Amino acid sequence: MTYFSDYSKKRFTILVLIVSISGFSQGMLLPLISIIFERDGVSSALNGLNATGLYIGTLLISPFIEQPLRKWGYKPIILVGGALVFASLLAFPFWKSVTFWFVLRLLIGVGDHALHYATQTWITSTADHKSLGKGMAIYGLSFSIGFAVGPLMVKLIEIAEALPFIISSIMCLFAWSFVFFLQNEKPERLTGDLNARGWQRYKMAILFGWMAFLGPFVYGFLESSLNALFPVYALRKGYEVGMIPIILSVFTFGGILTQVPLGALGDKVGRRNILMVGSFGGAMLFAIASFLEHSQLAVAIAFFLTGTLVGSMFSLGITYMADLTPKELLPTGNLLCGIALSIGSLTGPFLGGVYIEYVKNYSFLLLVAMLLLAVAMVLLVFGRQKHKQTLMAK
């Protein structure tokens, strides 16, 4: 990535560190709390409902986060979000209650969204546009690695149930402390028509960059539906219990492997082209896998290859939004990317659950394939015209 100064490099490194620890805490909480509740005899329905607290918190804070960011700048928002995550993680061991833990997960959702919104807006607003894709790919990669490593903390409950929460909170505090070394900055001021208030500004950001929001939406849908529902579907198909986490892990690993190369390639050939080809390729691979479900190895290979194509859709979507949206509207665009991700994360388990429950004769993977194919077709049909308009505007 090209940096304007050594300070820019330091700022980017600190922001990436914060995001990686945030991914680590999220990756740890999902399986950790599910296992603890399962051991305590909490119903699977209530267990799953409790897990939605993170995404509900994200949606609750979304309408109220942009104005504080514009007024006070990036640094205070990151500090408040980090403090909220740290305090919530530390509070888990004090009282084991389904309701209390739901509230804590909701607060972590609020804090995490504040962190991600401020950091990704800071990066997209200050990075050299020629290397923005590579920079956001590193950003996405750091979160993915943290998210992949987080579940390893689950084993620590064999020593003490509170230990994973304590270690995770200490790591969050460590990363959070580096923010004090950064100089506060604010987004560019809104002028003219862009100074519209409330829904008018959201409407303008949607008109400019609605196609870019498809990437975060699909990423959220895939992440939540595959992790929450594929294990259920696979068990009903008779898959070995030990093979299911391997299949899910290779999907994540595929995305980690190609995150930076695809981000850098997007800088050269265009984000729309990468998103379109990746969506179409992922749709074809999942469709093929639906006919090879008798072979767990074949499904694992398909998951890995699909991960290499679609694992970067969140970071690519953000950079594509930055391509299409005026710089003054980047905070609004980043906010809408986060909302799209949350909607996808909430929609995935619901639609997938309904599909598995009522569609008995067709593979669950076909649902995912149809979604990816629909996104590819939208980008093909509408993307070229939008891209030309953007180039003419520039």
pLDDT digits (tens, 9 = 90+) for 147-176: 778 777 877 888 888 898 999 999 999 999
CATH number of 7-186: 1.20.1250.20
Confidence (pLDDT) at 33: 80
Confidence (pLDDT) at 65: 87
> Where does residue 183 rank: exposed (0-12), middle (13-18), buried (19+ CB within 10 A)?
exposed
DSSP secondary-structure letter at 294? T
Q: Report the chain's mean pLDDT, rounded to a whole number.
A: 83
What are the residues whose beta carbons fall under 8 Å from the beta carbon of 238, sequence distance 6 or more? none
Domain ranges of the chain: 7-186, 195-382
Question: How would you label 236-268 residue by residue, b for 16+ Cβ within 10 Å and e otherwise?
Answer: eeebeeeebeebbbbbbbbbbbbbbebbbbbbe
Residue-wise pLDDT for 16-43, tens only, equals 999 888 888 887 887 788 778 777 877 7
How far is Cα 158 from Cα 155, in angstroms, rounded to an integer? 6
What is the average pLDDT across 110-116?
90
Q: Is 70 exceeded by the pLDDT of residue 270?
A: yes
> Where does residue 272 rank: exposed (0-12), middle (13-18), buried (19+ CB within 10 A)?
buried
Confidence (pLDDT) at 362: 82
Under the banding of pLDDT at 50, 70 and 90, the label for residue 387 is: very low
**Is 318 within 8 Å of 212 (Cβ atoms)?**
yes
Which spans in 237-295 are helix H? 243-269, 271-290
DSSP secondary-structure letter at 362? S
How far is Cα 388 from Cα 394, in angstroms, rounded to an integer? 10
For the entire predicted model, the pTM comes to 0.77
What is the average pLDDT across 69-95?
92
Q: How many CB atoms lie within 10 A of CB 303?
A: 24
Phi, psi of 186 (to 5 degrees): -125, 155
DSSP secondary-structure letter at 40? T
| CATH architecture of the domain with range 195-382 | Up-down Bundle (1.20)
